Amino acid sequence: MTPGIKPLVAGNWKMNGLNSAMDELEVMRDQFKPGLSAKIDMLICLPFTMLAKAGELTSRSAVKIGAQNCHKEIKGAHTGDISIEMIADCGAEAVIVGHSERRTDHGESNAQICEKAQSVLHWGHMAVICIGESDEQRKQGATLDVLKKQMTESVPGSADNGEIVIAYEPIWAIGTGLTPTVSDVEEAHQFMRSYLIERFGEAGNAIRLLYGGSVKPSNAAELMGINNVDGALIGGASLKADDFLGICATYQ
């Protein structure tokens, strides 16, 4: 936690989910009661195909919805791509950019991720920018160098009209059931905070820093209790309302 920052618990459904089966999202919406929504923000990042319906289902609730990628341009000759304007048109308020699966599967570079984030921020939305080291980089002791390079090159120089959120996701912890030690997460998040203060001044103190990688109800309290961990980005455990709400309940 960081004093004065409202935590954000964000789900990343990845390439999972159908419009014909929105019941888990409806349970999350219905169980996100005012007592909890006063304490934390909840964000569910869905496949593009689900955004319009999810936007309708959550429109009068405290649940925010988001996408998992976007193009840097607003419109034009970019076959198969989706822009922030289209995402916002569905009622979504946030976009995950630079997830390691996109960096790996689509070869996205820090520079491209920065441009996507800029587009989201210019639109006045939240860009959840993912960073994190590979297992090999961790073993080489290069974690903090990797984080610094990724933040320098993929975090825009200004939040523009929107909100920058940074998610620290060690690649080796995503979907594996493995998590870093508490002191490793604390060191990484303290490093990120110091970097952001150095770069943005006092505004760096207000940027939400999420931890992501095998967060589940059983380890959430420990991970969310670490200094400068202002919430979580959750993959697998965000697909089931019980698990996701169990993680949120850490903040009850």
Cβ distance to ligand PEP smaller for residue 102 or 193: 102
Q: In the bound complex, what is the minimum distance in angstroms from residue 10's beta carbon to ligand PEP?
A: 9
Could you write out the DSSP letters of every residue in the chain? Answer: --TTPPPEEEEE--S---TT--HHHHHHHHH--HHHHTT-EEEEE--HHHHHHHHHHHTTSSEEEEES---SSSSSS-TT---HHHHHHTT--EEEES-HHHHHHS---HHHHHHHHHHHHHTT-EEEEEE---HHHHHTT-HHHHHHHHHHHHS-S--TTSEEEEEE--GGGTTTS----HHHHHHHHHHHHHHHHHHHGGGGGSSEEEEESS--HHHHHHHHTSTT--EEEESGGGSSHHHHHHHHGGG-
**What is the token pair recorded at 40?**
């934390």
- Site membership for ligand PEP, residue 170 (CB under 6 A): no
Q: In the bound complex, what is the minimum distance in angstroms from residue 235's beta carbon to ligand PEP?
A: 2
Alpha helices in 19-73 (DSSP H): 23-31, 34-37, 48-58
Query: Binders of ligand PEP: how many residues, by CB under 6 A?
Result: 13
Cβ distance to ligand PEP smaller for residue 162 or 236: 236
- Site membership for ligand PEP, residue 132 (CB under 6 A): no
- Site membership for ligand PEP, residue 156 (CB under 6 A): no
- Site membership for ligand PEP, residue 174 (CB under 6 A): yes
Cβ distance to ligand PEP smaller for residue 89 or 135: 135
Residues tagged active-site: 99, 169
Q: In the bound complex, what is the minimum distance in angstroms from residue 236's beta carbon to ligand PEP?
A: 3
Q: In the bound complex, what is the minimum distance in angstroms from residue 25's beta carbon to ligand PEP?
A: 17
- Site membership for ligand PEP, residue 175 (CB under 6 A): yes
Q: In the bound complex, what is the minimum distance in angstroms from residue 196's beta carbon to ligand PEP?
A: 20
Cβ distance to ligand PEP smaller for residue 86 or 173: 173
Residues 9-28 that bind ligand PEP (CB under 6 A): 12
Residues 185-244 that bind ligand PEP (CB under 6 A): 212-215, 233-237
The footprint of ligand PEP (CB under 6 A) covers 12, 169, 174-175, 212-215, 233-237
